[in-house]
Amino acid sequence: MRTRRLTLVAAAAAVALVVVVGCVAKVQAKVYSAPVYTTPNPISSQPPPQLAELMLETVTPPQALPGAGFGLLHARVQRATDEAFASGATLSVAILDRATHQLVSNGNSQIVGTASVAKLFIADDLLLHESEGKAALTTEDRQALDLMLQSSDDGAAERFWDQYGGNAIITEVASRYGLVSTTPPNDGRWWNTMSSITDLIRYYEMLLDGSGGLPVDRAKVIVNDLAQSTPNGDDGYPQRFGIPDGLYAEPVAVKQGWMCCIGSDWMHLSTGVIGADRRYIMVVQSLQPSDDASARETITQAVKTIFPNGRI
């Protein structure tokens, strides 16, 4: 993703929300006896057996995350938030255990510019249209889709965005997944799509369990591409910050976003699913008035503070 400036209206809203949350965010945890989110329009058909790895609702889990458990995880999330603040950054983080339906977050729920994470929505909409016979994807299209998700190619995103509806893509995906904080860009530029940490957690959960409307075989295309995320983006920008370098001992499937500037801040957004069984979802975002390398180090260190052994 090339360096982009969030448009003035969106930037002002984002900065105002950051000022409100500041360093006072406190870790919040919830334990659900049912799935974290309600499901509008659930899919009734069962997925083929070969796609079972996407559907994890039958896992019989322990009562908390492995290792130190949720007690220490709460403290580590708070420590990461405080350390980031000491470096001048505002951190937002949420982690979901899909098997226990336990969610830990630091409580920062500001609306954020998604930058290249919006490419998830572009891919989702495109693959749904293809599955419904409304779009025919050529070999070149499929290669462009892979490059868009694996290496964050902007050119592919621009082409699909212009060809398949622009802002309407975001409106349709937000409606299918019930993403109440996700809105189209006010300037028509896909990288200025707005969302929230909780919406992104919800998106991944519903993508994986099929309840967002995308057939599981198409969802697998997205997840497999994210699992092949390249060290650098198509534009050369390093994209292993946050989850990939922080959870270095885990298999991860990630979509990264970065943007300068929101106000005077670099924005980095690291999102994805973690573990060989895709059990965990994590979203972490930072805003920091610094150079890009320092900002990448801050968000990566936050993940390392939360998971000091490089695994969940």
Question: Is 49 inside any structural domain?
Answer: no
Give the number of other Cβ atoms within 10 Å of residue 140's Cβ: 9
Q: Angle at CA 292, nearest 5°, toward 104 and 233?
A: 85
Please report which confidence band the pLDDT of residue 38 belongs to, taking 50, 70 and 90 as the band edges: very low
**Confidence (pLDDT) at 111:** 87
Question: Is 23 inside any structural domain?
Answer: yes
Question: Is 1 inside any structural domain?
Answer: no
Please report which confidence band the pLDDT of residue 32 belongs to, taking 50, 70 and 90 as the band edges: very low
CATH code of the domain covering residue 300: 3.40.710.10
Q: How many folded domains does the chain comprise? A: 1
**Confidence (pLDDT) at 28:** 59
Question: Is 224 inside any structural domain?
Answer: yes
Closest CA to 178 of 51, 36, 54: 36
For 205, the token pair is: 């959960």
Is 60 exceeded by the pLDDT of residue 56?
Answer: no
Is 90 exceeded by the pLDDT of residue 37?
Answer: no
The dihedral through the CA atoms of 216, 218, 222, 223 has a sign that is positive
Q: Please classify residue 129 by burial: count the beta carbons closer than 10 Å to its beta carbon, then call 0-12 exposed, 13-18 middle and 19+ buried.
A: middle
The string of pLDDT tens digits covering residues 60-69 is: 344 445 544 5
Question: Is 18 inside any structural domain?
Answer: yes
Cβ contacts of residue 50 below 8 Å, gap of 6+? none
Is 80 exceeded by the pLDDT of residue 195?
Answer: yes
**Confidence (pLDDT) at 158:** 97
Average pLDDT of the residues in 29-45: 38
Span of 46-50, 52-56, 234-238 with lowest mean pLDDT: 46-50
**Confidence (pLDDT) at 168:** 98
**Confidence (pLDDT) at 304:** 98
Is 60 exceeded by the pLDDT of residue 22?
Answer: no
Question: Is 177 inside any structural domain?
Answer: yes
**Confidence (pLDDT) at 24:** 36
Average pLDDT of the residues in 4-23: 41
Is 60 exceeded by the pLDDT of residue 54?
Answer: no
Question: Is 199 inside any structural domain?
Answer: yes
The string of pLDDT tens digits covering residues 72-98 is: 899 999 999 999 999 999 999 999 999
The string of pLDDT tens digits covering residues 137-168 is: 999 999 999 999 999 999 999 999 999 999 99
**Confidence (pLDDT) at 27:** 58
**Confidence (pLDDT) at 20:** 33
In the predicted model, what is the mean pLDDT of the chain? 84
Question: Is 2 inside any structural domain?
Answer: no
The string of pLDDT tens digits covering residues 246-288 is: 999 999 999 999 999 888 999 999 999 999 999 999 999 999 9
Q: Domain range holding 215?
A: 8-41+65-306
Span of 37-46, 56-65, 88-97, 201-210 with lowest mean pLDDT: 37-46
